[in-house]
Amino acid sequence: MKHHLLATAISLACLVAAGQAGARQITITTQMGSFSGPRAYAAIYLTDPSGTVVETLWIAGGKSKYYKHLRAWARGSSASRSNLHSVTGASVGSGGQLQVSADIADVMIADGYQIRVDTSVEDRADHPRSAILTLGKQTSVRGRGFVHTLSLK
Amino acid sequence: MRVSLRGMHRIVGLTSALFGITLAVTGIVLSFDPVTEAATTGTLTAAPEVTVAKLAQAVNDQVPGLERIEKTANHSVIAHYATEDGFGQVYFDAQTLAPKTASPISPVLGYIKDFHRSLFLGDFGRGVVGITAFAMLVLSVSGVAMIISKMGGWRALISPPKSGRLQALHLNAGRLAVAGLLILSFTGVLLSLVTFDLVPSPASDDPGFPVILAGDPPLQISELPALKSLKLSELRELVLPYPGDAADAYSLTTSQGSGYINPVTGQLVNWSIHGPSSQLYEIIFLIHTGQGAWPVGLLMGLSMLAVPFVIVSGVAMALRRLANPLRQFKNTPARVADTVVLVGSESATTWGFAAELARKLVAAGHKVHIAEMNKRAAEYPSGKFIFLITATYGMGEAPTNARHFLKRLNTFRLNHMRYSVLGFGDTSFPDFCKFAMDVDAAMLKTGMKRFHPFATIDRQSAQSFSSWGRAVGKSLGLGLSLEHSPERPKTTQVQLVSKRSYGQEVQAPVAILRLGTKSARTLPKHSAGDLLGVVAPGSSFPRYYSLASDGRDGCIEICVRKQPGGVCSGFLTDIAVGDSVDVFVKPNPKFRPSNSETPLILVGAGAGIGPLVGFLRANLQKRPAYLFWGGRDPSSDFLFREELGDLHTGGQITQITTAFSRTAGGGYVQSKLQCASRELQNLVQSGAQIVVCGGRAMGNDVQTTFNDLLLPIGLDVATLKQQGRYLEDVY
- Is residue A45 within 8 A of residue A53, CB to CB? The reply is yes
Mean pLDDT lowest among B57-66, B332-341, B584-593 = B584-593
Q: Is the pLDDT of residue B195 over 80?
A: yes
CA distances from B485 to B347, B350, B585 (A): 14, 10, 20
Task: Kindly report, residue by residue over B620-641, the tens digit of the pLDDT.
Answer: 989 999 999 999 999 899 999 9
CATH 2.60.40 fits A2-152, yes or no: yes
CA distance B87 to chain A (A): 5
Q: Considering only CB atoms, which chain A residues are within 8 Å of B242?
A: 72, 128-129
Q: What is the pLDDT of residue B155?
A: 52
Q: Does the pLDDT at position B689 exceed 90?
A: yes
CA A151, CA B21: separation in Å to the nearest integer?
A: 50
User: What's the gap in Å between the CA of B103 and the closest CA on chain A?
Assistant: 14
Scanning A29-68 for CB atoms below 8 A from B yields 50-51, 65, 68
Nearest beta carbon to residue A145 from set B82, B201, B239: B82
**Amino acid B425: pLDDT:** 85
Q: Among B82, B209, B247, whose Cβ lies nearest the Cβ of A144?
A: B82
Q: Is there a contact between A118 and A71 (Cβ–Cβ < 8 Å)?
A: yes
> What per-residue confidence (pLDDT) applies to A5?
45
Residue A3 has pLDDT above 60, yes or no: no
pLDDT at res. B198: 85
In chain B, what residues touch A145 (CB-CB under 8 Å)? 67, 82, 87
Mean pLDDT of chain A: 82
Per-residue confidence band for A126, with pLDDT thresholds at 50, 70 and 90: confident
What's the pLDDT band for B460 if we cut at 50, 70, 90? confident
- Pairwise CB contact (< 8 Å): A125 & B87: yes
Distance from CA of B208 to the nearest CA of A (A): 8
Which among A68-77, B43-52, B336-345, B392-401 has the top mean pLDDT? B336-345
What pLDDT does B455 receive? 94
SS3 B420: strand
Judged by average pLDDT, the poorest of B322-331, B418-427, B658-667 is B322-331
Measured in angstroms, the CA of A19 and the nearest CA of chain B are apart by 30
**pLDDT at res. B368:** 94
Q: Which of A126, A133, A134 to mutate to test the interface with B (most CBs of B within 10 A)?
A: A126
Nearest to B201 among A65, A123, A142 (CB): A65
The values of phi and psi at residue B504, to 5°, are -60, -40
- Most confident stretch, B8-22, B29-43, B248-262, B586-600: B8-22
Under the banding of pLDDT at 50, 70 and 90, the label for residue A21 is low
Average pLDDT over residues B480-496: 82
Contact B558, B532 (CB under 8 A): yes
Query: Rounded distance, CA B133 to CA B297, Å?
Result: 17
Nearest chain B CA: its distance from A143 CA (Å): 6
Test mutation, B67, B120, B289, chain A, max A CBs within 10 A = B67
A130 touches chain B (CB under 8 A): yes
Interface test with A, best of B78, B81, B87, B251 (most A CBs within 10 A): B87
Q: Tell me what pLDDT residue B63 has.
A: 93
A32: which chain B residues are within 8 Å (Cβ-Cβ)?
Answer: none
DSSP string, B269-334: EEEEEPPHHHHHHHHHHHHHH-TT-HHHHHHHHHHHTTHHHHHHHHHHHHHHHHT-TTTT--PPPT
> What pLDDT does residue B324 have?
72
Per DSSP, helices labelled H in B560-636 are 567-574, 609-617
Between A24-33, B367-376, B428-437, B686-695, the lowest mean confidence (pLDDT) is in B428-437
Residue B556 above 70 pLDDT?
yes
A144 touches chain B (CB under 8 A): yes
Q: How much of chain A is in helix, strand and coil states, percent to nearest 5? A: 20, 45, 35
Whether the predicted interface score ipTM is above 0.90: no
Quick one: pLDDT at residue B605?
93
In sequence order, which residues have a C-beta less than 8 Å from that of residue B57 and are 6 or more positions away?
B220, B221, B222
pLDDT exceeds cutoff 80 at A19? no
pLDDT level of residue B206 (50, 70, 90 thresholds): low
Q: Looking at the whole model, is its pTM more than 0.95?
A: no
Say what percent of chain B tops pLDDT 70. 94
Our CA-based measurement puts residue B39 at a distance from the nearest CA of chain A, in whole angstroms, of: 22
Q: Backbone phi, then psi, for A86, in 5-degree steps?
A: -75, -10
Pairing mode of beta strands B543-546, B556-561? unpaired
Distance in angstroms (rounded) separating the CA atoms of residues B459 and B540? 9
The contacts of residue B381 (CB under 8 Å, 6+ apart) are B335, B415
Q: Give the Cα separation of A91 and A39 in Å (integer).
A: 6
pLDDT in tens, B48-58: 889 999 999 99
Determine whether the interchain pair B83/A142 forms a contact, defined as Cβ–Cβ distance below 8 Å. no
Look at B201 and A142 and tell me if their CB atoms are within 8 Å: no
**Residue A9 confidence (pLDDT):** 44
B552 DSSP assignment? G
> What percentage of chain B reaches a pLDDT higher than 90?
54
Question: Does A125 reach chain B within 8 Å, measured CB to CB?
Answer: yes
- Name the residue among A75, A129, A145 with its Cβ closest to that of B209: A75
Q: Which of B673, B688, B676 is nearest to B593 (CA)?
A: B688
> For all residues of chain B together, what is the average pLDDT?
88
Length of chain A: 153
Q: Tens digits of per-residue pLDDT, B220-264?
A: 999 999 999 999 999 999 999 988 777 788 999 998 898 999 999
User: Where are any strands of DSSP class E within chain A?
Assistant: 4-6, 23-32, 41-47, 53-60, 88-89, 97-105, 114-121, 125-134, 140-142, 147-152
Domain boundaries of chain A, sorted by first residue: 2-152
Q: What pLDDT score was predicted for residue B208? A: 73
**Mean pLDDT highest for which of A80-89, B500-509, B517-526?**
B500-509
CB contact under 8 A, B197 and A65: yes
CB B427 within 8 A of CB B399: no
- pLDDT (average), residues B272-277: 87
For residues A41 and B579, give the distance between their C-alpha atoms in angstroms, rounded to a whole number.
69
For residue A26, what are the contacts with CB-CB under 8 A and spacing of at least 6?
A101, A102, A103, A104, A152, A153
> Does B616 contact A at CB distance below 8 Å?
no
For B169, residues 6+ apart whose C-beta sits below 8 A from its C-beta are: B309, B313
Beta-strand relationship, B268-273 and B339-344: unpaired
The answer to whether the Cβ–Cβ distance between B82 and A65 falls below 8 Å is no
Q: Could you tell me which residue, B174 or A13, shows the higher pLDDT?
A: B174
Chain B contact set for A76 (CB, 8 A): 209
Which of A92, A109, A99 has the alpha carbon at shortest distance from A145?
A92
Statement: residue B457 has pLDDT above 80: yes
How many CB atoms lie under 10 A from the CB of residue A30? 30
Confidence of residue B487 (pLDDT cuts 50, 70, 90): low
In this prediction, residue A11 carries a pLDDT of: 45
**Which is nearest to B709 in space by CA: B680, B669, B666?**
B680
**Residue-level pLDDT at B330:** 83
The size of the A-B interface in CB pairs under 8 A is 40
Give the pLDDT score at B540. Answer: 61
Mean pLDDT of B331-351: 87
Contacts of B110 in chain A (CB under 8 A): 123
Q: Is B49 on the interface with A (CB under 8 A)?
A: no
pLDDT for the residue numbered A8: 42
pLDDT of residue B345: 82
- Chain A hits for B247, CB-CB cut-off 8 Å, are 50-51
d(CA B187, CA B137): 10
- Asked whether the beta carbons of B691 and B598 are under 8 A apart, the reply is no
Q: What are φ and ψ of residue B658, in 5° steps?
A: -115, 155
Range among B193-197, B321-325, B610-614 rated most confident: B610-614
Which of 61-100 (A) contact B at CB < 8 A?
A: 65, 68, 71-72, 75-76, 78
For the residues B303-331, what does the mean pLDDT come to?
Answer: 85
Judged by CB atoms closer than 8 Å, whether chains meet at A68 and B206 is answered as: yes
Query: Distance (Å, rounded) from C-alpha B659 to C-alpha B533?
Result: 30
CA distance A86 to chain B (A): 22
The stretch B501-520 carries a mean pLDDT of: 89
